[in-house]
Structure formats: structure tokens, C-alpha cells
């Protein structure tokens, strides 16, 4: 039994990540409609009712818009901080409010630790999952990083981190200047170059898989994200690197398994 990570989809139109450990199934973020979530989980032969808990990183629409629906329709407990719960109008009777750096303990020695990350207009957190010596990180929507974040992510066997934009494409692109400045600011998003710099601080011989997430459709491309990041970590990273896009799930990383498991694209019907 090991930790596994599957991105059901990442990007500005919705984010959700499935974390599995034995019979425990946790969803990190829910930025999809109920129908869309059902469809994506069905490709993994799962139903929404199979999810044991939903953890929300922050209240922005592409990460938390489906939380209230998931809570009401499937009666799934939600874990988030106080500001996120208030912004999403969640039923507080069914919410577990956590504080930063408060370990959230689940079955079979599985714990998730919320780590604060800089992101404007939100009380955002990354999650570090740990299980019997295995550790995996999921972090997104941050314009910079802290020493505390580096300390907690360092040496994780799996790291999912955003690589939102390519500098040249952003600054030469169609966005208004204020939006470009917000995206590139400390409370915005990480560029491919910044993601590479961050990973160069946290990747070591224990790191077996990296997934680049939340790529901008207008300001980035998978080959740019991957090549830029590898420029920074190629000499220290020998594991598997993948890019997760909006239309997932595509693959599952199991800690301790060298190659990711592909998710079937067709042939699974809703139950």
C-alpha cells in the first residue's frame, strides 16, 4: 500500500487531485461541476461517493467552486481553513476547520499537513501528504515561496507544482498590463523559470516524480514548461516528469513505482 496522486484536471477551468492510500480516497480541491467530477472519476472506475474527504486549498473558483455542491449532494466532509469556508458558503456543521501546520490525520497512518503559500486575495495552502515514510506534495497558485515551504517540500518522493506561464508569452501576450503584473507578482503564479528555481531547492535523490500543473492555455505550452524546469533540475533529478493539463485524468503516480499508470481515455461509463 502506497500513496498515489492523480490529477483529474488542472488549469483555470477547474482543478481537482485524487490522493489514494489503501481504501482511503481524498480529493484535494473541487473546481468542477458535479457532472464533470462524476465523469472524470468514472474514468478511474470510481464514484463521487467513494471519496472519503475533500480538502480545499483556497476559495478561488477554479479550486473551490464545487465544494458546496459536493458537500450537499454526496455528504462528503470538507476540510479547509476559516477564510475559505466563509468565502465558499459551506455548511460549517460539516466542515473541519484547520489551522496552518496542523496535521490532519486519516486512516492507516496517513496525514496531510497544510502549509501556507503566498497568493493574493486568498488564504492559500499547499498540502504535504505522508504515509509510513512516503511523502508527496501538492502546491499550486503561488507567486513565490517561503523558507518554510522549501523545508517541508524538500525530499518529497512526489511533487506536484504549478508552472503557470512562460515569461515571453505572458509579457508579449494579449492580457492587460495590470493582469500581467498580478500574475507575475509575489501573490500571483509561478513562471516556468520560477518553478525550476523552486524545484532546484527541494528536489534530491529521494524525489521520484514531478508533475507540472496549472499551465496557462494562452501563456504557456507543455514543452516550454518541461524544458525550462529540466534546465534547472536535470543534473539532480532522475525521476519521471509529466505535465498535467485541463482535460484529465491522464496518469497516476504511485510512490515507489518508476513509471506512472495511464488512465484509460475511453470505455468507462458512469455508474
The answer to whether position 204 is within a domain reads yes
Assess if residue 265 is contained within a domain. no
Q: How far apart (Å, rounded) are the C-alpha atoms in residues 168 and 64?
A: 30
Mean pLDDT of the chain: 93
CB-based contacts of 71, cutoff 8 Å, min separation 6: 54, 77, 78, 90, 91, 94, 95
Q: For residue 218, what are the contacts with CB-CB under 8 A and spacing of at least 6? A: 169, 173, 174, 175
Whether 264 maps to a domain, the answer reads no
* Domain coverage including residue 103: 3-248
pLDDT-derived band at 224 (thresholds 50, 70, 90) equals very high
- For residue range 88-136, list pLDDT tens digits in order: 999 998 899 999 999 999 987 899 999 999 888 789 999 999 999 999 9
pLDDT, position 267: 41
Per the CB < 8 A criterion, the answer to whether 163 and 143 are in contact is no
Res. 229: pLDDT tops 50: yes
Q: Which tens digits make up the pLDDT trace of 60-86?
A: 999 999 999 999 999 999 999 999 999
The whole-number average pLDDT for the span 25-54 is 97
What is the percent of the chain where pLDDT is above 70?
97
Distances (CA, A) of 205 to 64, 152, 238: 34, 16, 8
Write down the pLDDT at residue 70: 95
268: in domain: no
17 within domain boundaries: yes
SS3 8: strand
Does the residue 66 lie in any domain? yes
Does 231 map to a domain? yes
pLDDT in tens, 185-204: 988 999 999 999 999 999 99
Number of domains in the chain: 1
Look up the CATH number of the domain holding residue 64.
3.60.15.10
In a domain, 270, yes or no: no
pLDDT at residue 271 in the model: 28
Peptide bond into 218 cis (omega under 30): no
Amino acid at each position: 500500500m502506497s500513496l498515489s496522486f492523480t490529477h483529474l484536471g488542472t488549469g483555470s477551468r477547474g482543478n481537482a487531485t485524487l490522493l489514494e492510500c489503501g481504501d482511503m480516497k481524498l480529493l484535494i480541491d473541487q473546481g468542477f461541476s458535479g457532472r464533470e467530477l462524476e465523469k472524470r472519476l468514472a474514468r478511474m472506475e470510481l464514484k463521487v461517493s467513494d471519496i472519503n474527504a475533500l480538502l480545499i486549498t483556497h476559495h478561488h473558483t477554479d479550486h473551490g467552486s464545487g465544494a458546496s455542491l459536493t458537500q450537499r449532494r454526496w455528504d462528503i466532509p470538507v476540510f479547509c481553513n476559516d477564510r475559505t469556508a466563509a468565502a465558499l458558503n459551506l455548511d460549517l456543521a460539516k466542515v473541519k476547520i484547520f489551522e496552518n501546520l496542523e496535521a490532519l490525520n486519516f486512516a492507516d497512518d496517513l496525514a496531510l499537513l497544510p502549509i501556507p503559500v503566498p497568493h493574493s486575495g486568498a488564504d492559500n495552502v499547499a498540502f504535504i501528504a505522508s504515509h509510513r515514510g512516503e511523502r508527496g506534495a501538492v502546491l499550486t497558485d503561488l507567486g513565490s515561496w517561503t523558507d518554510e515551504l522549501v523545508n517541508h517540500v524538500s525530499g518529497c518522493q512526489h511533487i506536484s507544482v504549478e508552472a503557470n506561464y512562460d515569461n515571453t508569452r505572458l509579457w508579449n501576450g494579449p492580457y492587460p498590463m495590470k493582469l500581467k503584473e498580478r500574475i507575475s507578482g509575489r501573490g500571483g503564479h509561478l513562471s516556468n523559470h520560477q518553478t525550476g528555481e523552486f524545484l532546484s531547492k527541494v528536489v534530491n535523490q529521494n524525489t521520484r516524480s514531478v508533475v507540472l500543473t496549472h499551465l496557462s492555455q494562452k501563456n504557456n505550452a507543455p514543452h516550454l514548461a518541461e524544458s525550462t524546469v529540466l534546465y534547472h533540475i536535470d543534473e539532480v533529478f532522475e525521476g519521471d516528469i509529466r505535465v498535467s493539463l485541463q482535460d484529465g485524468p491522464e496518469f497516476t503516480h504511485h510512490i515507489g513505482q518508476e513509471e506512472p499508470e495511464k488512465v484509460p481515455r475511453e470505455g468507462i461509463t458512469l455508474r
